[in-house]
């Protein structure tokens, strides 16, 4: 039997991430389509000029989460929603849209590994990069005022 009385903070945390995942499922198709049709710079420009009403509604649906918990919710939504496809770039852009106005940064970084192979990664950060991003050198950083 389901019981949420044992640890209400954990239950509420999961509910917050679920809410963020639902917002991801709503926002991601727009982000992915824009990215594929117009490219990264144009998509970032559209995000910065996003209608305040739409951005506010998305933010209301998503709620507020710290970037790491939001990343987990976005990743989960991309895995379970059959209509969503995308890797770190699409996921980070979607998270950035949903956290617009929360003093987060969208970052793209690059690295060369020991075998001299090129790698790239995109993420959203608040004050510090997530652990998996520390080996990448940022080449693009966007933040909303």
Q: What is the pTM of this model?
A: 0.84
Question: Per-residue pLDDT tens for 3-50?
Answer: 445 554 554 457 788 888 989 999 999 999 999 999 999 999 999 888
Q: What is the 3-state secondary structure (H, E, C) of the chain?
A: CCCCCCCHHHHHHHHHHHHHHHHHHHHHHHHHHHHHHHCHHHHHHHHHCCCHHHHHHHHHHHCCCCHHHHHHHHHHHHHHCCCCCCCHHHHHHHHHHHCCCCCCEEEEEEEECCCCCEEEEEEEECCCCCHHHCCCEEEEEEECC
């Amino acid at each position: 039997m389901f019981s949420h009385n044992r640890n209400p903070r954990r239950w509420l945390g999961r509910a917050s991430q679920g809410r963020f995942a639902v917002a991801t499922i709503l926002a991601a198709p727009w982000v992915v389509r824009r990215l594929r049709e117009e490219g990264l710079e144009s998509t970032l420009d559209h995000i910065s000029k996003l209608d305040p009403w739409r951005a506010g509604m998305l933010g209301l649906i998503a709620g507020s989460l710290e970037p790491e918990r939001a990343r987990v919710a976005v990743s989960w939504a991309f895995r379970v929603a059959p209509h969503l496809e995308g890797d770190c770039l699409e996921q980070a852009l979607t998270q950035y849209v949903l956290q617009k106005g929360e003093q987060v940064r969208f970052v793209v970084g690059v690295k060369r590994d020991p075998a001299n192979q090129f790698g790239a990664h995109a993420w959203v950060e608040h004050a510090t990069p997530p652990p998996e991003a520390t080996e990448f050198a940022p080449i693009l950083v966007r933040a909303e005022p």
